[in-house]
Structure 1
Amino acid sequence: MALSAIPPVYVLYGIVAVGAAKVVYELFFSPLSHIPGPFLAKFTDLYRSGLTHMGHVDIHKRRWHQKWGPAVRVGPNAISISDPDMIKVIYTTKNPWRKSDMYRPNDVVVNGQRIQNVFNTQDAHFHSKYTRPIGGFWTMSKILELEPVMDETLSELLANVDRRFASTSDVCMLEDWISYYAWDAAANVSFGRHYGFMDEGRDVGGIIAESTAGLRYFAPVSQAPLLDELLDKNPVWRVGPRPLVNGFLHTVRILAEYRQQGAARRKPVDLFIDRYSGLKAQYDFVDDAQVTNWLMLNVLAGGDSTSGAMRSVAYHVLKNPIVHARLAAELDAADLELPARWADVTRLPYFDAVMRESFRIAPALGLMLEREVPPSGLELPDGRFVPARTKIGINPCVVTRDRGLFGDDADTFRPERWLRGEGEDEGAHARRVRRMHEATDFMYGHGTRVCMGKHLAKVEMYKLFATLFAAYDIKLTDPDHEWKYHNSWFMYHSDIPCTITRRNKA
């Protein structure tokens, strides 16, 4: 009998029966039925995908964990964990757990073929092959060799702030200038030149907008990867943004110019383009395409993720005048050379506390870093069992609000929590802060897939804010003003209008 001959009512009965069976299975027979969570999340990943699209899924995740505890079922086969002690378990360096398919939408399709990179690959061998040659370039000692290059970018920022704002009383949209700085800084250490965002005071070529559009697509479809197969990866008509096209072409042009200049190019400091290009003689799989791939990851991670962390520092200091005043006093007493030197700012305990508290209260990364439970399964600390192949992970925006670790005021911006408390001995303080560091640094990931650029990001951010708050008096135009944000994997904060004047330390 042809399908068209089946009465429509029977088709409807069939759909209802399948739906009812799905409900019964997920509620009573699924191996995850003992893990509580939102009702709709038990049946479809579209629920968390929709919440992610709206831009504030981190708020929902925190509420779910407050209601249901350290393990919450956020999808038919997905568990969110809030216990900070589980970071070392899920993201172990010994027999690392495989990344889930949430990262696959980040693949690029070229001539019908999916191209993976070191960020999104699920293949441990691929990741090791393409990160091992460059890992030594990202140690703290190698990053500090680039400090003079970072100072060039900071000097460019200071010149623009003086010319555009400090001398004119014009309102500065601080979120824009932090983005311009972060992207220009990433370009300078990578290529030896800025994109020109600060110089022109705008998103040149729409590179930042392209990146934002790409992440706004990636965030929701990563929660339900089948959507990406239907949208961007379908072979008939691809639907979705084309992120970083202009950024890619810009990198290709710079690499071509670099090859043409050859030995005549002045190299007072080895930049990443120098370091990566030098690998072509050492590895048969390194060519210009691979160098371009590595450089693109440099600027993408260095631009979007770093600016997300930077905006948190700026906003929370400006929203807390007492913190701002104490910070300025410590910077004045240090009598810093400007641009501030890394060696000097690392000796400022309150400044360090402010930076870490800013990263804690609003991490740069806002979604769960998913892994697959290994074949042996996972026994949670409370004895519940999670079977193999379950997607599981921790969201930095959840773990950094853990009240058992950070106190009952974990939702409050309070840098003093990082300092040694009255009556607290040195050893107890060191142990407490070490655990806090582990949770806060989780915005860079953990284990074998940790972000290689974490040292670069930290040096750039510490130098930036020590320099800015030592040189300028920065104020929100309205002390009661609240920022806006959109969680699209990275945090996109907006609406931070400020006035800026040169400080008179006399």
Structure 2
Amino acid sequence: MIALVSELSGANIACVIALLVLLKISYESLFSPLKDFPGPFVAKYTDIWRSVVAASGQVDKTNLRWHRTYGTAVRIGPNTISISDPNLIRTIYATKTNWLKSDMYRPNDVLIHGQRISNLFNTQDVAWHNKFMKPIRGLWTMTKVLEVEPLVDETLNKFVSKLGDKFSNGTKSNICPMDEWLGYFAWDVTANISFGRHYGFIDQEKDVDNLITDSTKGLYYFAAISQIPWADYLLDKNPLVRIGPKPTLTGVAYTFDVVGAYQQELARRGDKPGRAAHYLDRYIAIKEDSAARGADLAVDDTQVVNWLMLNILAGGDTTSATMRAVVYFLSKAPAARARLQAELDAARLPLPAQWRDASKLPYLDAVVREAMRHLPGLAMVLERVVPEGGLMLPDGRLVPAGTKVGINPAVTNHDAEVFGENVDEFDPGRWLKRDDESEDGFAARLRRMKDVVEFTFGGGNRMCLGRNMAQLEIYKLFATLYSLYDIKLVNPDHQWKIHNAWFIYQWDMPMTIEPRQRV
């Protein structure tokens, strides 16, 4: 009898599950307000499908293929639409807007001692974000960023010297894993401008304390779980047994240690913050000023860490992704590399190159922008929630309020109307004036391309705060590096490996580095 009841119960449960699945399929196919938006079949019924795509590391290529198949608005989940129209960037990511970030960003929270801590990157609370961004926005203008240029020079000198000593004889035994070394440089620059000290990657020639490895694991987790954020409660944020990588936890713990040690050092010396150029000193000065004035904005060590995490979350990974792209694509395009080096030779820049000089070189600018266009460092849909009133698309379709929508920079960066028919090729020449083009026509075309590519840094008031710093590092690096060295793939036909995990990760870049005579 017990066995029979058990069998009946099991059968009933199976019937209930089957009925629920049937109802779900029927609703999404026949009654959902998004039923007329085309997209992959499975995506209509579950977000798990796009999570699987994200976990594959090829979501940028997949999103692009979907849009080329289904059009400008693709249903990629039961309640999610991906947009490919560059004209809608300013609408969805406007500066003064009630388009809130979706819950896809929540897995980026850190769980410390049972407390879930959001950060300025992922918070959905606009008022909280604006309140705590206001004191530091002015510190990230290019004028203020240039004050830390000597710290960038310090790291850059260390980097090019190490490359020269270790790899520049070009023998087989000294092949450079360029992907690793560009990561070391990007992360050590981030540490130096943030804390006034290096992590030690360049000096020790390795991933110190697994900081890069742990960050990468965290983003691999985030990319997949951000598509089904409810799963994060079962994995990383469950109160019993936490499963999987701990997004940003290593970076947060490291930064708390640095903040505490720096304040102890100031107290021991009897110094006040405000003398050093790095951002830790600047943020401690804000904290002390806030306490002294009894300001409404209460700044404690947690908030200082929160500010610094904006550097750490993106400073190493996104910048190194663009750096790797530049080196790899130039290795695949010897004519472009030769043209860049001719420009650098003609400029005869003092080394390490200074921003004031490097930023004026048109072909260097074209190379960097084209690498960023062709393979943006951030290449997933940046989700927002459609506000009350809905989103009316240019073709007359209405996306209802409450729907999650977003744009992937990797998709808009391959828009043929903006960038020309050869969008799938690496072509720095697209950023230069054509012979048959008027000055006004070129200026308008260039401005349009720049607006679209700079969406790689996000949009509106959630745009990446460190974009000026990233530009400074990248332009200085390549103006210096290609003045000093010839950098080539060991085998010109070799193909690197890429995994998109929100940020782009590239590896397997064996290269030779040979000293060159500056003409």
Deviations 1:148-177 (A, max 9, x none): 111001000011011111146300011101
Decide whether the 8 Å contact of 2:188 with 2:200 is kept in 1.
Answer: yes
1:20 shift after superposition: 1.6
Distance 1:414 1:290 in 2: 43
Worse overlay, 426-435 or 28-37: 426-435
Distance 2:305 2:142 in 1: 23
Distance 1:146 1:11 in 2: 64
Decide whether the 8 Å contact of 2:107 with 2:226 is kept in 1.
Answer: yes
Match of 1:273 among 247, 270, 280: 280
Distance 1:265 1:181 in 2: 30
**Aligned ranges for residues 413-428 of structure 1 at < 5 Å?**
413-428=426-441
1:348 shift after superposition: 0.9
Decide whether the 8 Å contact of 1:474 with 1:498 is kept in 2.
Answer: yes
Worse overlay, 224-233 or 374-383: 224-233
**Corresponding residue for 1:470?**
483
Match of 2:509 among 491, 496, 499: 496
Deviations 1:180-199 (A, max 9, x none): 00000000011111111001
Decide whether the 8 Å contact of 1:187 with 1:194 is kept in 2.
Answer: yes
**Corresponding residue for 2:119?**
117
AA aligned opposite 2:229: P
Aligned pair in 2 of structure 1 residues 113, 265: CA closer, same or farther (>3 Å)? closer
Distance 1:39 1:105 in 2: 26
Indicate yes or no: 2:190 matched with 1:186: yes
AA aligned opposite 1:106: N
Distance 1:196 1:265 in 2: 27
Distance 2:128 2:8 in 1: 50
Match of 2:213 among 209, 215, 227: 209
1:257 shift after superposition: 2.9
SS in structure 2 at match of 1:132: helix
Distance 2:284 2:259 in 1: 9
**Corresponding residue for 1:199?**
203
Normalised by the length of structure 1, the TM-score is 0.97
1:22 shift after superposition: 1.3
**Corresponding residue for 1:256?**
260
Q: Percent identity?
A: 50
Decide whether the 8 Å contact of 1:207 with 1:244 is kept in 2.
Answer: no
**Aligned ranges for residues 77-476 of structure 1 at < 5 Å?**
77-167=79-169, 169=171, 170-262=174-266, 263-264=270-271, 269-280=276-287, 281-282=289-290, 283=295, 284-476=297-489
Distance 2:11 2:278 in 1: 68
Aligned pair in 2 of structure 1 residues 499, 265: CA closer, same or farther (>3 Å)? farther
AA aligned opposite 2:240: V
1:267 shift after superposition: 7.3
Root mean square deviation of aligned Cα? 1.7
1:115 shift after superposition: 1.2
Worse overlay, 429-438 or 481-490: 429-438
SS in structure 2 at match of 1:74: strand
AA aligned opposite 2:122: N
Distance 1:131 1:204 in 2: 30
Decide whether the 8 Å contact of 2:170 with 2:512 is kept in 1.
Answer: no
Decide whether the 8 Å contact of 2:211 with 2:250 is kept in 1.
Answer: yes
Worse overlay, 274-283 or 468-477: 274-283
1:390 shift after superposition: 0.3
Decide whether the 8 Å contact of 2:375 with 2:410 is kept in 1.
Answer: yes
Deviations 1:6-25 (A, max 9, x none): 44333333222221221121
Distance 2:100 2:404 in 1: 10
Deviations 1:191-221 (A, max 9, x none): 1111110011100111100100110101000
Indicate yes or no: 2:18 matched with 1:16: yes
Worse overlay, 216-225 or 307-316: 307-316
Decide whether the 8 Å contact of 1:79 with 1:391 is kept in 2.
Answer: yes
AA aligned opposite 1:89: T
Gaps of 5+ in 2: none
Decide whether the 8 Å contact of 1:309 with 1:364 is kept in 2.
Answer: yes
Distance 1:164 1:266 in 2: 38
Decide whether the 8 Å contact of 1:81 with 1:392 is kept in 2.
Answer: yes
Indicate yes or no: 2:65 matched with 1:63: yes
1:243 shift after superposition: 4.0
1:299 shift after superposition: 2.1
Distance 1:125 1:435 in 2: 31
Distance 1:200 1:111 in 2: 32
Decide whether the 8 Å contact of 2:108 with 2:248 is kept in 1.
Answer: no
1:285 shift after superposition: 1.5
Aligned pair in 2 of structure 1 residues 176, 69: CA closer, same or farther (>3 Å)? same
Aligned pair in 2 of structure 1 residues 10, 288: CA closer, same or farther (>3 Å)? closer
Decide whether the 8 Å contact of 2:194 with 2:278 is kept in 1.
Answer: yes
1:505 shift after superposition: 2.8
Distance 1:107 1:237 in 2: 17
